[in-house]
A and B are shown apart, each in its own frame.
Chain A
Amino acid sequence: MRVEFQNLSKQYENGPVILHPMDFADEIHSLAIIGPSGGGKSTLLRIIGGLIAPTTGKLWINGAEIEQNEASLQKYRKKIGFVFQQGGLFCHMNARDNIAVPLEQVHGYSRPAACTRAMELLERFGLKEDWKKKPAALSGGQKQRVAIARAIAARPGLLLLDEPTSALDPEYTTEVLDVIRELKEDGLHFIIVTHEMGFARHACSKVAFLCEGILMEYGESARLFGQPETKQLRQFLGKLLEWEL
Chain B
Amino acid sequence: MKRLKQLFWIPDNKKISRPAAFLNLLVVTALWVALFWVCLGAIHVQLDFTFLGQFRIRIWDGFLVTLSLSLCSLILSLLLGILSAAGQSSPLLFIRFFCSVYVKFIRGTPLIMQIYLFFYIVGTAWGVNNRFTAGVLILSIFEGAYIAEIIRGSLLSLEASQLEAARAVGFTRWQTWRFVILPQMIARTLPALTGQFASIIKDSSLLSIIAVIELTQAMREISAVNFRLFECYLFLGILYLCLTLPISLISERLEKRFQYES
Contacts of A51 in B (CB 8 A): 164, 167-168
- B259 (CB) vs chain A CBs: closest residue: A136
The proximity string for B residues 157-179 relative to A, scoring 1 for CB distances below 8 Å and 0 otherwise, is 00101101111111110010001
Q: Does B114 contact A (CB under 8 A)?
A: no
- A85 (CB) vs chain B CBs: closest residue: B161
Q: Does B261 contact A (CB under 8 A)?
A: yes
B136 CB, min distance to chain A CBs, angstroms: 34
Q: Is the CB of A105 within 8 A of B164?
A: no
Q: Is the CB of B184 within 8 A of A92?
A: yes
Q: Is the CB of A102 within 8 A of B170?
A: yes
Knowing A102-B171, A106-B175 touch, does A91 contact B164 (C-beta < 8 A)? no
Q: Is the CB of B175 within 8 A of A90?
A: no
Q: Does A117 contact B (CB under 8 A)?
A: no
Say which size band chain A's interface belongs to: 20 to 34
The 22 sampled A-B contact pairs (Cβ below 8 Å) are A51-B164, A51-B167, A77-B170, A84-B164, A87-B159, A88-B161, A88-B164, A88-B168, A90-B179, A91-B162, A91-B260, A91-B261, A92-B180, A92-B187, A102-B169, A105-B175, A106-B169, A106-B170, A106-B171, A106-B175, A134-B260, A136-B262
Which B residues are closer than 8 A to A by beta carbons?
A: 159, 161-162, 164-172, 175, 179-180, 183-184, 187, 260-262
Knowing A77-B170, A90-B180, A92-B187 touch, does A84 contact B165 (C-beta < 8 A)? yes
Count A-B pairs with CB separation below 8 Å. 61
A136 CA to B169 CA, complexed, in Å: 20
Determine which of B167, B172, B179, B187 lies in contact with A101 in the assembled complex, contact meaning CB atoms within 8 Å: B179
Q: A87-B159, A105-B171 given. 16 additional CB < 8 A pairs?
A: A51-B167, A77-B169, A82-B169, A84-B161, A84-B165, A88-B161, A88-B164, A88-B165, A89-B165, A90-B162, A92-B180, A92-B261, A105-B179, A107-B170, A134-B260, A150-B169
Q: Does A78 contact B (CB under 8 A)?
A: yes
- A134 (CB) vs chain B CBs: closest residue: B260
